[in-house]
Chains A and B, each alone.
Chain A
């Protein structure tokens, strides 16, 4: 339990309303988007860098660990409390501090929601490309901590490709700025990229300079339907080989086609083995040529149907099934496990085959949605969390999927972070020498292991 004097001091730093010690607070801050659970000792909601610094200093003196949290939508346990910690919730630090259109930069606080930035930038005809599925809920601090991706990331890159610089509060209480406001201003070590994806284990981010860019003048949305997932994945490889980089290359398998049909009647054929949603964007003059090339490629890969949306309504119709994909499986069974294994694009067909194998071996139901362009797969394993035996089988199947990804020279986590869930798999992916370097980095920043201890790696 936090001492009364510690609670009083936290309140004097952050204000009465920004320190939560109620029973419901402890409960509601116990989870994230996974099934993991922990109990914090308290929650602080700082509203400025100075408050973050003061809390960090107080906690260091008192030996209290701190787990950072944005909206808590993460899928790997990164923001789940550890024993004896307080939660530092950044959701009240949500100012957009600066928008510099000329230099393609915006500076935001970590609690700003990704979607709020998109809405604000839309007024200028600009946007911020990383678009995780959680973008209407998840914060920029969280996106940064997990290095989030999204459908648009095939063409444009993931979060780390859009961060110019950061203000960071270190475990020592010192505030540093890393990176700059544009590409060329980071001589020395690339510190910015060390913080991206570090899940708050090295420092707490209090300001983020993000790269923004103009909304492309034109966009085309296409749908290709296949008899087999193999044909669909062949198209993916062929399109990229043809030198076309679509903004989006999303794939759904037969199970997902059927669950989405049950839910929204999008009009996709239930006997199809897979479908691909493709989008290209750029200069209006380039669109027809790209659509034509893609049309020829998918036909060569035995697509049974190829549609090009000609109106906003048709675009919506094509996206309808994809948008409800996750929820539609939740209607089949009460729970689903989201995985984000990623393999080299060229090995995408092998990964699809690997998933089929896991399905049979473990007797589990899996529906797959994939950011196919990135080789990033979301095999959704369906189950009921109250059936303990089933949960065990699901965990075993998930482990097998991860092993398969590593064997294909891929990674166990494309965009959802490591947190607690994927931590044990890191040694397989990187080997002891690299893990040792990671540990040294952690110790260099956080010798007392005060910031999000036990996440990513064990010291």
Chain B
């Protein structure tokens, strides 16, 4: 039974009522029973009982889960299917390693800063030129707008001084940039620094920015995830306040890392102490800074907000970004339908199950378009990229921005 034995009791609590069908986006799009939490949980239990094999179909059922956590809210029996899927992925990793090779390459590259810099650097230079030369039909690869996807030749953490000083520092914070923001959404990283420094925070941007380990964690490679966690703590543990503007990284630093080390009681207190010092960007700004008096804006703009799964369900940071957005003058905030539901990006699901993922993104894009908003703000680089692509595929001019970008623009 392997690691599945750890959760066998929990697998048994699924009463098979099927209420998760209403919450599960992959089921809504696909319609097959093994594409919904009840089916996935029953299959994991069946594998533990030796009634099905860990074949390719099983892997697809387990790996196509968005891990959005919406089913856990709908479940009357309190089953947290996404957590059981995580264990099933770890079980798969132990049975047969990370497959296919492409996924394994992506995950391992994230743990090797050199390879990551080279990859994005190559893409920013030669790769884009190559794509530009191709027909415009190539703009969208697997539902992702690769042509206009930002990529930086030089990582953000190497563009700025290690310590960004301000005249009268009231606080000192370390900025955990996160791989995606460090190499791709560099402009957003600059926005984060701007918001913090304009509010009298001295910002430290350590040169070493190890991957938080979430991508490895969610595909069951706990060893790599733990190694990454330790690297992060080694590099950032000495600071009192650590801020990240990536919802997924924030969730990993604040919560999942603790989960990861529950079997290492000697190291666990260190992780808990570290996690308590980590903040998601809007969580920190809303709680600790008096920003609203400084915000200026002359041009009326309609803005809506998309809740990343890691903000709304893995953590409960929902009011803070809205409060910050609403504090911008002449910003007309409108709520979208199903703002808190997954956009379909879901880590590598968008790459390996792109039709499913893009169908989910199309709904999100439509909900955004229906608000008539000029800007959709959010707090997660992965959501930004995927939603941007979804909007463009629908021919929408609505711009996607990070909450930090919206605030930074109002601080000029």
Contact = CB atoms under 8 A, between A and B. Distances in A.
A336 interface: yes
A31 interface: yes
A334 B13 contact: yes
Nearest to B60: A24
A131 interface: no
Contacts of A273: none
B75 interface: yes
Interface stretch (A4-12, A171-179, A192-200, A324-332): A324-332
A268 to B, nearest CB: 18
A111 B76 CA distance: 23
B180 interface: no
A334 B15 CA distance: 8
Interface string B214-257: 00000000000000000000000000000000000000000000
A416 B42 CA distance: 23
Contact of A330 (B20, B23, B39, B77): B77
A386 B12 CA distance: 9
Nearest to A133: B19
A27 B74 CA distance: 23
B51 interface: yes
B74 A28 contact: no
Contact of B58 (A24, A45, A94): A24
A73 interface: yes
B76 A28 contact: no
Contacts of B22: 113, 115, 135-137
B78 A24 contact: no
B27 to A, nearest CB: 8
Given A29-B33, A72-B33, A134 B18 contact: yes
A322 to B, nearest CB: 12
Interface string B33-77: 110000100110010000111010110010000000000001111
A250 B315 CA distance: 34
B76 A24 contact: no
Given A23-B55, A45-B31, A92-B31, A137 B19 contact: yes
A386 B18 CA distance: 20
Interface residues of A, number: 42
Contacts of A327: 75-78
Interface string A11-54: 00000000010111101110111110000000101000000000
A326 B76 contact: yes
Contact of A73 (B17, B34, B39): B17
B18, B31, B51, B75 pick with most chain A CB within 10 angstroms: B18
Given A71-B18, A134-B17, A89 B31 contact: yes
Contacts of B76: 324, 326-328, 330
B34 A72 contact: no
A91 interface: yes
A335 interface: yes
Given A71-B21, A73-B21, A386-B12, A28 B33 contact: yes
Interface residues of B, number: 32
Interface in B379-405: none
A24 B18 contact: no
Contact of B19 (A23, A91, A111, A134): A134
A24 B21 contact: no
A24 B40 CA distance: 10
Contacts of B74: 136
Interface in A94-122: 94, 111, 113, 115
A138 B21 CA distance: 8
A136 B23 contact: yes
A391 to B, nearest CB: 14
Nearest to A337: B15
A43 B21 CA distance: 18
Given A23-B57, A72-B33, A33 B18 contact: yes
B354 to A, nearest CB: 15
B17 A24 contact: no
A22 B51 CA distance: 13
Contact of B77 (A22, A25, A331): A331
A328 B249 CA distance: 33
B129 interface: no
Contacts, number: 103
B32 interface: yes
B162 to A, nearest CB: 49
A25 B34 contact: yes
B323 interface: no
A28 B22 CA distance: 17
B43 A24 contact: yes
Contact of B31 (A73, A111, A326): A111
Interface in A302-341: 324, 326-328, 330-331, 334-336
A136 B42 CA distance: 20
Given A31-B42, A327-B77, A336-B15, A24 B31 contact: no
A34 B38 CA distance: 13
B115 interface: no
B16 interface: yes
Nearest to B34: A28
A320 B74 CA distance: 13
A325 to B, nearest CB: 8
A89 B31 CA distance: 9
Contacts of B53: 23
A136 to B, nearest CB: 3
Contact of B20 (A20, A34, A92, A137): A137
Contacts of B19: 73, 133-134, 136-137
B78 A330 contact: yes
Contacts of B17: 33, 73, 134, 326
A123 B225 CA distance: 46
B338 to A, nearest CB: 10
A335 B13 CA distance: 7
Nearest to A335: B15
A330 B19 CA distance: 14
A24 B15 contact: no
A385 B13 CA distance: 10
B42 A331 contact: no
Contacts of A111: 31
B73 to A, nearest CB: 11
A24, A27, A92, A136 pick with most chain B CB within 10 angstroms: A24
B268 to A, nearest CB: 27
A231 B31 CA distance: 46
Interface in B147-168: none
Contacts of A71: 18, 21
A37 B28 CA distance: 24
Nearest to B21: A137
Contacts of A89: 31-33
B57 A24 contact: yes
B79 to A, nearest CB: 9
A330 B75 CA distance: 10
Contacts of A91: 31-32
B42 A20 contact: no
A369 B75 CA distance: 18
Given A24-B52, A28-B42, A137 B34 contact: no
A27 B42 contact: yes
Given A28-B33, A133-B19, 9 more contacts: A28-B39, A28-B42, A32-B16, A33-B17, A35-B16, A72-B33, A73-B18, A115-B22, A330-B77
Return the 8 tightest CB-CB contacts between A and B, nearest first.
A327-B76, A136-B22, A137-B21, A73-B18, A91-B31, A330-B77, A28-B33, A28-B34
11 contacts: A24-B43, A24-B58, A25-B34, A28-B39, A31-B42, A33-B17, A71-B18, A134-B18, A135-B22, A136-B23, A336-B15
